[in-house]
Amino acid sequence: MAPAADATAIKPHHFVDILTSLGQGHPSLDPHPYGHALHKVTRELLADRDATLCIELGADDICLPCRHNVKGLCDDVIDTSYRPLAPKSKREWNLIIDQRWCAVLGIGQGDRIAAREMCRRILDCLDEIDGIYREIPADRNARRRSGLEKGALEFLGSQGTQC
């Protein structure tokens, strides 16, 4: 089900990815060969940090135009060389990660939450990174955490200290 026009449908891990890329100094602002809308959603959220997010565990606004989105299901695969316990299906992997993020953040499918509030919750849960991404080596999770923390603080701006 599509969210109201005033909300951005987003998978939790996609919002985390946006914040992480922002913190690592390379937000996704250019189109990707897959045709997904990460660059558009990133631009929209950076322009309106008070945007309403509608939590989506299926195909979100980023996934919709992607060439791997086949009738609402992702047919892409992931590199399991450094995460051999993860499923090869990107759809299955994303769902696992998104369900873990939902549990930690106290959100679920269809919930509406302000981007700033979700960002604050993510900051409060940084110690959960290793559990959420338990199939990924600790050194990669440490880099993810560092970028995520920097990106979340940048996203919040001066409001980051009000948590």
How does pLDDT run across 20-66, given as a tens digit for each residue? 999 999 988 999 999 999 999 999 999 999 999 999 999 999 999 99
Backbone dihedral region of 35: left (phi > 0), alpha (psi from -120 to 50 degrees) or beta? left
Q: Do the beta carbons of residue 137 and residue 79 sit within 8 Å? A: no
The domain spans of the chain are 7-162
pTM of structure: 0.93
Is the predicted pLDDT of residue 2 greater than 80, yes or no? Answer: no
How does pLDDT run across 62-104, given as a tens digit for each residue? 999 999 999 999 999 999 999 999 999 999 999 999 999 999 9
Note the pLDDT of residue 163: 34
How does pLDDT run across 118-136, given as a tens digit for each residue? 999 999 999 999 999 999 9
Q: In Å, how far are 8, 38, 84, 124, 161 from 15, measured between CA atoms?
A: 11, 10, 25, 15, 20
